[in-house]
Homo-oligomer: A and B are copies of this chain.
């Protein structure tokens, strides 16, 4: 019983081989991958893996709160294994997504009276690396 199994169990998720592998990938690689990126990398380790399972698994993770869905990319959804509230920046040049440390809950407007399940701050522009490279 490894710590990823423990993590999943803490969110009420049964740890199967596939689920452990996908969660391990998410936590080891903070690249905010798409379903396809996860699938392509994981199939090398688990050749029988189906893309449906990747979809199922990520959907389950998000529903149970073990991962978060990031909608900053218009083309396809991205996922983050870090569930602590923070913002996201996407570079329009290189496509990279960078985490922004922000206390999002402090930023809520005063005149807002609903309950909050999720909050994300999305920024798009050009990252420092691309500015330096003059891309």
Chain A residues within CB distance 8 Å of chain B: 69, 71-72, 74, 77, 87, 89, 91-92, 100-102, 107-109, 111-128, 130-131
Contacts and interface: CB of A to CB of B under 8 A. Distances in A.
Which A-B residue pairs are the 4 nearest by beta carbons?
A116-B125, A118-B124, A117-B125, A114-B127
B123 A116 contact: yes
Q: Which residue, of A102, A107, A113, has the highest number of chain B Cβ atoms within 10 A? A: A107
A121 to B, nearest CB: 5
A82 B120 CA distance: 20
A101 B111 contact: yes
A134 B116 CA distance: 15
A77 B92 CA distance: 18
A109 B115 contact: no
A108 B123 contact: yes
B89 A114 contact: yes
A113 B71 CA distance: 22
A102 B92 CA distance: 24
A45 to B, nearest CB: 28
A117 B127 CA distance: 11
A128 B115 CA distance: 8
Q: Which residue, of A74, A121, A124, has the highest number of chain B Cβ atoms within 10 A? A: A121
